Copies of this chain bind each other. A is one copy, B any other.
Amino acid sequence: MLKTHLKSSKEYQPGLSIDCVIFGFDDNQLKVLLIKTGYDNSWSLPGGFVSIDEDIDTAAVSILQARTGLKGIFLRQFATFGAVKRNQNHFSSDALAYFGIPLEEEKWYKSRFVTIGYYALVNFSKAIPQPDNPGEMVEWIDHHEVPKLILDHREILDKALETLRTELNLMPIGYNLLPEKFTIPELQKLYETILGRTLDRRNFLRKITAIGILTKLDEKKSNVAHKAPNLYSFDKDKYEEVLKNGLTQGW
């Protein structure tokens, strides 16, 4: 929510912020990148402000890149939150002093902010969480074990997950969350984790391969406890095509 080298508030779009729900998949867990403030150890979503001369989408990309070091990531706006009370009483005068905010900027920080929510899907192993403010911690947290978050960030996170669940039915997802080579069981675990329920192995295989975005590699996963599963990769071209057209739907 704050950046180390704050420009003057005049250089930012007033009353507007961006919060990102960054999802990663590791150890069969859906994880979310969260930030623990140095000031009071409170947890929040990574976010930031929008420069006056910056598109909101660009601002979201910048925040994401600053936090994960990644470019060209799957990033999608999903909702905007603007309840009057959403950031009421959030920045105490003490907190603003801690962050070195000059007095004349207090009013800016204490006014209502409308925040635009983006969610991102990133390759866990390639992302390098980067603290931005001193004393800050950036951590991947299992989405089942998210601590209390500031403001309405919990609501934002929930909405992001709900959106992701819906989009799972409308388009192929996984390309951005898995390493280049992966197994069908891994992909299934990802789906199961996002949906929060189990799926039948055999039916999953049939359905996921029918989409036509997977390439079966002539290679098996090594160092596994049981029968070595086959490795697959995404067919980038076909994946992009399905992303554009969407999966077949109802009507």
Of the candidates B15, B56, B199, B251, the one whose C-beta lies within 8 Å of that of A13 is B15
**Given the complex, which residues of B lie within 8 Å of A79, measured CB to CB?**
77
Q: How far is the CA of A247 from the CA of B158 in the complex (A)?
A: 20
Q: Is the CB of A54 within 8 A of B249?
A: no
Say which residue of B13, B80, B114, B168 sits within 8 Å of A112 (CB atoms).
B13
A-side binding surface: helix, strand, loop or mixed?
Answer: mixed
Q: Is A14 an interface residue (CB 8 A)?
A: yes
Chain A residues with CB under 8 Å of chain B are 13-16, 50, 52-57, 77, 79-84, 111-112, 114, 116, 166, 168-170, 191, 195, 199, 207, 247, 249-251
Instruction: Report the copy number of this chain in the oligomer.
Output: 2
Partner among B111, B114, B191, B249 whose Cβ is within 8 Å of the Cβ of A56: B114
- Chain B positions within 8 Å of A81 at CB level: 56
Q: Which of A52, A53, A249 has the most CB of B within 10 A?
A: A249
